Structure 1
Amino acid sequence: MPQDRISALGLDIGRKRMGVAGCDGTGLIATGITTIKRTSFQKDIAQLQTIVQEREVELLVVGLPYSMNGSIGFQAKEIQKYAQRLSQALELPIEYVDERLTSVQAEEMLKAANISPSQNKGLIDRKAAALILQQWLDERR
């Protein structure tokens, strides 16, 4: 039996940028929405709050960069801390998915479309966020 539909945001959180993805009304397909250039926590929240309100978001899905051996390293812990702050500020629950290699996968997709990854970092972040959210949506089915 399929899960109830839910409006979720997928987040690919990096030091400089944050890729944001949303799902369609069916809850089946994730697409990139935007890339937020990270400058301050308050500005990040302001931009996310607008998206959350427009899309009536109920949940944040954050990619966690596990180490290749499956452990949670320094970078993953930093992302968890930041994601918890986002969750509290936006008053939304949070779920994590293993995002190992999503950015590499996103880069490969751009190369296949003859788009330069080095010239389109924001697009990579959006695509990675969409891959993170799509993985979560697929796991719910």
Structure 2
Amino acid sequence: MPVLDILDLPAACPPDTAWMGLDLGEQTIGVAVSDTTRMIASPLELIRKSKFTLEAQTLFKLMDARKISGLVIGLPVNMDGTEGPRAQSCRAFARNLERHRPVNVAFWDERLSTSAVERFLIDELDLSRKRRAGVVDRTAAAWILQGALDRVRDQASWV
């Protein structure tokens, strides 16, 4: 299944099913999920990167357990809109997932998501550096997924 535009993802997914958001870091994968109405994203889990096959198995187990119908993967686009090596790595991750199992995937521009989450965790929650380390990637995944959910909902209200 090809990568979808975020506005085409709802049509590819059964109604009343949740989506999963991923923040693909160098050492971890932040995972978030939406509710079945696709209104609210919540941080879920942090997967430590090791071997791709193990990461994929973990993601597929989470997807099956929660009946996830779509993935929104954060795409780290450069500030000038170009895609660098990290964005290409995210695209390769999606292609590799597809080789294991068909998945409805859309990318979401994640520019500044981690820094926005860091600011929130510091300014609003006053979390120490040590406590932030375990929360940032999961929360960034929720930030990415929430942005995509809001965009889809905003588009639907204009139609």
Aligned residue for 1:43? 54
Aligned residue for 2:44? 33
C-alpha spacing 1:75/1:54, structure 2 compared with 1 (3 Å): same
Is the Cα–Cα contact under 8 Å of residues 17 and 122 in structure 1 kept in the other structure? no
Bigger-Rg structure (1/2):
2
Aligned residue for 1:130? 142
For residues 79 and 37 of structure 1, the distance between their equivalents in structure 2, rounded to whole angstroms, comes to: 16
For residues 116 and 39 of structure 1, the distance between their equivalents in structure 2, rounded to whole angstroms, comes to: 27
- Stretches of structure 2 lacking an aligned partner (at least 5 in a row): 1-9, 154-159
Aligned residue for 1:140? 152
What letter matches 2:152 in structure 1?
A: R
If the length of structure 1 is used for normalisation, what is the TM-score?
0.91
Is the Cα–Cα contact under 8 Å of residues 10 and 61 in structure 1 kept in the other structure? yes
If the length of structure 2 is used for normalisation, what is the TM-score?
0.82
Q: Deviations over 1:64-106 (max 9, x none)?
A: 0100000111111111111221233242121001000110011
- Runs of at least 4 residues off by over 6 Å: none
Aligned-pair RMSD on alpha carbons?
Answer: 1.4
Sequence identity (%): 32
| Alignment of 1:95 onto 2:95 | no
- Stretches of structure 1 lacking an aligned partner (at least 5 in a row): none
C-alpha spacing 1:72/1:53, structure 2 compared with 1 (3 Å): same
1:139 positional shift? 0.8
